[in-house]
Copies of this chain bind each other. A is one copy, B any other.
Amino acid sequence: MLHEQIEINEAAVILKLLGDKTRLTMVKILDKQECCVCEFVEIFQTSQPAISQHLRKFRDLDLVKEERRGQWIFYSINKNNELYPLIQQILQFLPSQEFRLKKLEEDGTRISCC
């Protein structure tokens, strides 16, 4: 067995968290680059509170790091989290989502903040 073991209950919590297409996409993006709230709002064409609430769930599990820079708060994935190896394995199966940020750039909507 190569991995640190994760208790079933704890694993179920993280899997449920990732079992939402918005959050799963967010994590896939954050695994490659940091991102601020306004970009997620643009990418998912949803409300800012909806995004903030998804991010809070990640924060509550210490899965992301946040760093304020001026008005903006940048989120990145916390690779030190004990659950990160599991997350990383899962993300390997998912297609790159870099096109989403590329699209923002092309549209000129990769907002001021970034």
Contact A86 B95 (CB under 8 A): no
Which range holds the interface residue count of chain A? Answer: 20 to 34
Stoichiometry, copies per complex = 2
Residues of B within 8 A of A94 (CB): 5-6, 8, 11
- List A1-39 residues whose CB lies under 8 Å from chain B: 1-9, 11-21, 24-25, 28
Chain A's interface: helix, strand, loop or mixed, by majority?
helix
How far apart are the CA atoms of A73 and B97 in the complex, in Å? 42
**Other contacts beyond A5-B94, A8-B25, A12-B20: 20, CB < 8 A:** A1-B92, A3-B92, A3-B93, A4-B93, A5-B95, A8-B21, A8-B95, A9-B21, A11-B93, A11-B94, A12-B19, A12-B24, A13-B19, A14-B19, A15-B18, A15-B90, A16-B19, A17-B19, A85-B93, A86-B93
